[in-house]
Amino acid sequence: MIFNLTIMGTASAMPISDRNPSAQMLEVHGRLFLLDCGEGTQQQMRRAHLAFMKVEAVFISHIHGDHLFGLFGLLNTMTMYGRTAPLYIYGPRALGSVLNFYRSFFGEHESYDIVFTPVDCRGPQLVHRSKWVTVTAFPLNHKIECYGYRFDEIVTERHWQENPAYHPKSYAYCSDTSPLPELAEWVMGVDLLYHEATYPNEMADKAADRGHSTAAQAAQCAKDAGAARLVVGHYSSRITDFDALQAECREIFPETVAAQDGDVFKI
């Protein structure tokens, strides 16, 4: 039962020579789910040997460039490959205008349907369901409208019968956000939690001013949620000592990894 997360970008607003902007791929039993799509996502997919045609759905957290500037290129590549299966895209309502712009200028030879569903919720809301997974969106606390996504594995009755002690897998993606009291409840008990940690604790004032979290705040959310493991990323370009940032998290939540581009986590 495959449930793997590939980290394709850990930078924040500005790409760095060895780090790309935000993008992650969750593989669930052979199907791919893309979370955000910063610049360079296509190249990172190639490096990770992730098939373009197996992407079932794309989930965009918010309309900031470091989270979606790679989307146009990806959509166009799928057309060049002759994709025919619909591509499901979820994100804030404003993303609809972005996709309409793409269609008006670059969609003439589009070979597949782009099915956009706007996300607009004040609490957890089911937005996508496929054979193996349900996806729930929930609001985050950023400067603009922003959403996180939780993935919960669907287990068949036959699998339950064959493996009565099986634990369904779960993953939650918390993109750009300041601390939010309800967040721990919404990601309660996940096997793996991604939470941005843009700044070290000494830069808490900048985190608060810019709608982001510190390492300690990310770790506290994981602890409050009873998550099994925590992955942090979306680092400020000022951060060069990732071991120190990881140590700040581990003081509160020991099962923390400060992710680097290309890391793969088996859930």
- Beta-carbon contacts of residue 85 (< 8 Å; ≥ 6 apart): 53, 112
The model's pLDDT over 150-170, given as tens digits with 9 standing for 90+, comes to: 999 998 888 888 888 889 999
Average pLDDT over residues 165-182: 96
The model's pLDDT over 100-124, given as tens digits with 9 standing for 90+, comes to: 999 999 988 888 999 999 999 999 9
| Longest CA span, the chain | 53
Coil, strand or helix at 5: strand
pLDDT for residue 162 = 82
Q: How far apart are CA 75 and CA 97, in angstroms?
A: 15
Contact (CB, 8 A) for 232 and 220: no
The model's pLDDT over 51-102, given as tens digits with 9 standing for 90+, comes to: 999 999 999 999 999 999 999 999 999 999 999 999 999 999 999 999 999 9
pLDDT for residue 7 = 98
Look at residue 1 and tell me whether its pLDDT is greater than 90.
no
User: Is this prediction's pTM over 0.95?
Assistant: yes
Q: In this structure, which CATH number among 3.60.15.10, 3.30.160.20, 1.10.10.10, 3.30.70.20 belongs to the domain 3-266?
A: 3.60.15.10
- Residue extents of the structural domains in the chain: 3-266
State residue 28 phi and psi, 5-degree precision: -125, 105
Q: In this structure, what DSSP letter does residue 225 have? A: H
Q: In this structure, what DSSP letter does residue 54 have? A: G
pLDDT for residue 157 = 83
Q: Which of 36, 66, 176, 191 is catalytic?
A: 66
CA dihedral 110, 64, 146, 89 (to 10 degrees): 10
pLDDT for residue 68 = 97
| Residues facing 265 on adjacent strands | 5
66: annotated active-site residue: yes
pLDDT for residue 156 = 83
The model's pLDDT over 204-230, given as tens digits with 9 standing for 90+, comes to: 999 999 999 999 999 999 999 999 999
Q: How far apart are CA 244 and CA 55, in angstroms?
A: 35
129, HSE (Cβ side, Cα atoms, 13 Å) = 4
Q: How far apart are CA 12 and CA 198, in angstroms?
A: 7
